[in-house]
Amino acid sequence: MNANCDLKICDFGLARTYEQFMTEYVVTRWYRAPELLLCCDNYGTSIDVWSVGCIFAEILGRKPIFPGTECLNQLKLIINVVGSQQDWDLQFIDNQKARRFIKSLPFSKGTHFSHIYPHANPLAIDLLQRMLVFDPTKRISVSDALLHPYMEGLLEPECNPSENVPVSSLEIDENMEGDMIREMMWEEMLHYLPRA
């Protein structure tokens, strides 16, 4: 995040270095949405809303909200905060083993975010509560999050393209040169943002 409050998110989970040893699995787990942790086949932009919610919570509390040590521990930490889920809130889980695991966890009524962040603005708590919803189909959309009262005065519609703009995937061959990939990405960006 810069001084203008522009937020850019990058997943360095697959980053590698030759100078020092890095584990294959890094702390980006702390920001992963439940549907990714549960190996769901179908997911969408709501995974990014969850990640931004985790970052937002970290800004409010000055520490990660879900610092899991591994995948199952991560899910337990999430349930301890958001609470145990009803059957209808688990319908998005297409992996039966994962659904059984979530149902097997001890009951948790959860903890309201206002108790975790007692000094936070109530509007910030409301936005966070809408971002960190276990069921991705009930999570706030990017557009609605930008229109939330907590974000009032920050939204610049001309700088924020609609989330409903279809994005075509780039067909990238493993043998393509870096310059060719960069050129294809540039052309794709110009298609959606011609003034760039």
In the prediction, which pLDDT does 185 show? 80
Residue 62 falls in which region: left (phi positive, over 0), alpha (psi -120 to 50) or beta: left
pTM value is: 0.71
Is 93 buried (19+), middle (13-18) or exposed (0-12) by CB count in 10 A? buried
Separation CA 29–CA 66 (nearest Å): 9
What is the separation, in whole angstroms, between the first and last Cα of the chain?
Answer: 21
- Give Rg (Cα) of the chain: 19
The two tokens of residue 15 are 């980053």
In the prediction, which pLDDT does 18 show? 44
In order along its 196 residues, the chain shows pLDDT tens digits of: 677 777 666 654 444 444 444 444 444 889 999 998 888 888 888 999 999 999 999 999 999 999 998 989 999 999 999 999 998 988 898 888 998 999 999 999 999 999 999 999 999 999 999 999 999 999 999 889 989 999 988 777 666 555 555 555 556 666 777 788 788 888 877 877 777 6
Q: What are the counts of helices (DSSP H) followed by strands (DSSP E) for the chain?
A: 8, 0
H or E stretch covering 80: helix 71-82
